[in-house]
Amino acid sequence: MSQTTERMHELVDRLNRYRQEYYNENAPSVSDAVYDHLYDELARLEAETGIILSSSPTQTVGYQVVGNLPTVKHDIPLLSLDKTKSLREVISFLKGKAALLMLKLDGLTIKLVYEGGKLTEASTRGDGDVGEVITHNVAAFCNVPMTIPYQKHLEVSGEGFIHKSTFERLKNTLVGSDGRPYRNARNLASGSIRSLDAAVCKEREISFFAFHVLKGLDEFPGLKNSRDGKLLCLMEYGFGICPFQMLDGNISEEFLQGQIESVQALADLFDIPIDGMVIRFEDLAYSESLGRTGHHYHDGIAFKFEDDVYETIFRSIEWQTGRSGEIAPVAVFDTVEIDGCEVSRASLHNLTFIKNLELYPGCRILVSKRNMIIPHVEENLDRGNYQDMIPQTCPCCGQPARTYSRAGDKGRIVETLHCDNPECGSRILQRFVHFAEKKAMNIKGLSEATLDQLIRLGALKSYQDLYHLDRYRKEIIALEGFGEKSYENLIASINESRNTTFVRFVVAMDIPLIGRTASRILDRHFHSSLRELRLAALDRFDFTCLEGIGDIMSSNLHKWFRKPDHLLLWGSLQNELHFENGLDAQTSGEENNMNETTNNTFAGCTIVATGKLENFTRDGINAKIISLGATPGSSVTKKTDYLICGEKAGSKLAKAEQLGVKILTEQEFLVMLSA
């Protein structure tokens, strides 16, 4: 910021402080002569520069009140950015190109439009395409230029926010529209910026920092493709800009961490609320070439310190009996939008979790998306009125529900609720649902609702019955939503599933903890022979000698095969099916066309994948590892050759670094595959 505009900001702040002392506190700290001298200096500088700040005492226009907030469509969508918590992913994203490391301000995104040097419109981001007009409130902000010397069309985006110390001072004297105190500075800023009365907004001391020039300034030499150049130009016009640091694209994780800490120190020093960092490319032409999705631009990435939390109202618990008999609690709450998705339900895990949160209907809760994927209830803001909402009976069959205890992390005891009735309708239905799933027998089009109809009809008592539904042809055709065509499609899909694989069959058997990854490991070791696997289990084979199979999984295999009804199912169901040779290649989309090979760098290696990957699901990456002739590991040990790291790598990354295991980003893994 030039010395002149910096002096103007200083004068505005001092004069407003003196006005507060004189008019509201009846305790002026300077004489009228001093005040007048500073006032005249400010007026002179405004005339010389053409810049008038929103909170300038030279402007005597009163604050407006509007009846509603009109909407406006954004010509350039104000979209968000993709997110990560991994320094490694940030470096991979940079691809060696220069970028700006900026504070991720915790407020409300605003767009300002200037014509002929005057602010003509201000609006909120809204949903990215349509926002609300809040022009009347901008005059009440602390530091937005109302006039600037630039006479052409200019559009600027930035963040309206409230300094942390201001929030601490105001939070106990203000309440939101629900009559409750504001929980954080972001909520207070959002409500204040969208206030209908600018005088109310003025009391909240909204600040504004610009972080991007949407349109304008292209005619100046060297600015057309320079992000930081345009921001520095805005400073000359009196804008406060978001603090940033230039990054060379070729940097280490250690250097990036140091730069983040340096910029974060600025936020602490100047009392700025943030919830992470933003990294955006310096070259605007390159940025534009990267395009966008409907949700976010590809030219930047947000580095998050922690998951965003959203306040909502807890309403009730839904209890769902699963195929194992565990009755799972699901929180039902008022809908909140997180990362563009409406969320109204989240798992409550177990009884211990519910009791620790002290939940009761009507309490305020904080909800997040853990790792930006899974909805999670983080906190109860209104503790102290816990109500026991645990049912005494199974919500499906009505049989008594029993509480079981098991050991949790760090010696904790975890309580879960169970239905022990093997004939419980929900348990039976969910077993059939699992059997028909894509990862198991892959019976396409066989929905949970259809399975429920077939069970109620009496057509399904065992898995084998699925392959003999022709016995109930007339009854099925007569079911609601069915007909000749629907019946024929269903039978065709079931018959198609007869052609299956070792892996699908083992997954369909629903042996506890034996999913697709473990099934593929067994497939390779036992040469796709179900007979060899059965004999090994009955002979107490030590499955833990296989990388990726642990003690509990090994014990579950032994227990499962010791039950006569399981052995009967294992043998009789095979008579309905036709088995392919080799590995399972008909899994999710990213796994298609993966052929096993030993002619690659990874053949014979043990590879562990951790964190959220962009191009693979968890089963997908394990399938890819197996297809390379390698073994997917579940934990990092001395035998691990490679660790593939995605977002939120956590303890596995630390263990790999400790053991000296070769660490790869997902991008590095893919590059090695194509080499």
Annotation: CATH topology of 3-49 = Helix Hairpins (1.10.287)
pLDDT above 70: residue 568: yes
Q: Which helix (H) or strand (E) holds 354?
A: helix 351-357
Say if CB 119 and CB 133 are below 8 A apart.
no
Write down the catalytic residue from 104, 202, 612, 624.
104
Alpha-carbon span 615 to 141, nearest angstrom: 44
Tell me the one-letter amino acid at 22: Y
Give the Cβ contact number of residue 304 at 10 Å.
19
Break the chain into its structural domains and give their ranges. Answer: 3-49, 71-304, 309-394, 425-497, 502-579, 589-674
Name the superfamily (CATH) of residues 425-497.
5' to 3' exonuclease, C-terminal subdomain (1.10.150.20)
Which is more confidently placed, 404 or 129? Answer: 404
Lowest mean pLDDT among 130-134, 210-214, 372-376, 502-506: 372-376
Alpha-carbon span 658 to 408, nearest angstrom: 26
Mean pLDDT value of segment 22-28:
66
Q: Which CATH class is domain 502-579?
A: mainly alpha
Annotation: CATH topology of 589-674 = Rossmann fold (3.40.50)
**How is residue 271 written in tokens?**
């009392």
pLDDT at 88: 87
Name the superfamily (CATH) of residues 309-394.
Nucleic acid-binding proteins (2.40.50.140)
563 is known as an active-site residue:
no
pLDDT in tens, 626-643: 778 788 887 788 888 999
Alpha-carbon span 281 to 290, nearest angstrom: 10
pLDDT above 70: residue 589: no
Q: Which helix (H) or strand (E) holds 332?
A: strand 327-338
pLDDT at 62: 53
Say if CB 517 and CB 632 are below 8 A apart.
yes
Alpha-carbon span 316 to 390, nearest angstrom: 11
Say if CB 563 and CB 588 are below 8 A apart.
no
Exposure string of 19-32, with b = 16+ CB inside 10 Å and e = fewer, is: eeeeeeeeeeeeee
Tell me the one-letter amino acid at 625: I
pLDDT at 458: 92
C-alpha distances in angstroms, 42 versus 12, 50, 208?
8, 12, 21
pLDDT above 60: residue 334: yes
Give the Cβ contact number of residue 4 at 10 Å.
13
pLDDT in tens, 161-200: 999 989 888 877 777 666 667 767 888 888 889 888 888 8
pLDDT in tens, 318-327: 999 999 999 9
Residue 592: pLDDT band (50, 70, 90) is: very low
Q: Which residues contact 85 (CB under 8 A, 6 or more apart)?
A: 303, 304, 305, 371, 647, 648
Which is more confidently placed, 592 or 292? Answer: 292
Tell me the one-letter amino acid at 9: H
pLDDT above 90: residue 116: yes
Mean pLDDT value of segment 135-153:
91
- Decide: helix, strand or coil at residue 52: strand
pLDDT in tens, 662-674: 998 887 888 787 6
Q: Which residues contact 319 (CB under 8 A, 6 or more apart)?
A: 327, 328, 329, 330, 391, 395, 417
Say if CB 155 and CB 214 are below 8 A apart.
yes
Q: What is the mean pLDDT of the chain?
A: 86
pLDDT at 339: 66
Block residue for tokens 């200019």:
154
pLDDT at 591: 38
pLDDT at 584: 40
pLDDT above 60: residue 60: no
Which is more confidently placed, 29 or 425? Answer: 425
Lowest mean pLDDT among 10-19, 144-153, 375-384, 420-429: 10-19
Give, as one character, the DSSP assignment of residue 469: G
Query: Do the domains 71-304 and 589-674 sit in the same CATH topology, yes or no?
Result: no
Tell me the one-letter amino acid at 586: Q
- Compute the C-alpha angle 370/372/378, nearest 5°: 30
Q: Which CATH class is domain 71-304?
A: alpha beta
Give φ, ψ of 349 to 5 degrees: 70, -65
Q: Which of 335, 396, 387, 334 is nearest to 360 (CA)?
A: 387
Q: Give the DSSP letter string of 246-274.
A: EEEES--HHHHHHHHHHHHHHHHHTT--E
pLDDT at 466: 95
Mean pLDDT value of segment 559-580:
91
Block residue for tokens 């006039």:
147
Mean pLDDT value of segment 134-155:
91
pLDDT at 586: 38
Q: Is 315 exposed, middle or buried (0-12, 13-18, 19+ CB in 10 A)?
A: middle
Tell me the one-letter amino acid at 522: L
Alpha-carbon span 475 to 457, nearest angstrom: 8
pLDDT at 595: 42
pLDDT above 60: residue 47: yes
**How is residue 206 written in tokens?**
């909204």
Block residue for tokens 């590059």:
671
pLDDT at 596: 43
Say if CB 59 and CB 146 are below 8 A apart.
yes
C-alpha distances in angstroms, 309 versus 158, 183, 339, 515?
22, 11, 11, 32
pLDDT in tens, 236-255: 998 999 999 999 888 888 89
Q: Residue 301: how many CA atoms within 13 Å on its side-chain side?
A: 18
Alpha-carbon span 4 to 100, nearest angstrom: 26
pLDDT at 588: 37
Say if CB 109 and CB 80 are below 8 A apart.
no
pLDDT above 70: residue 563: yes
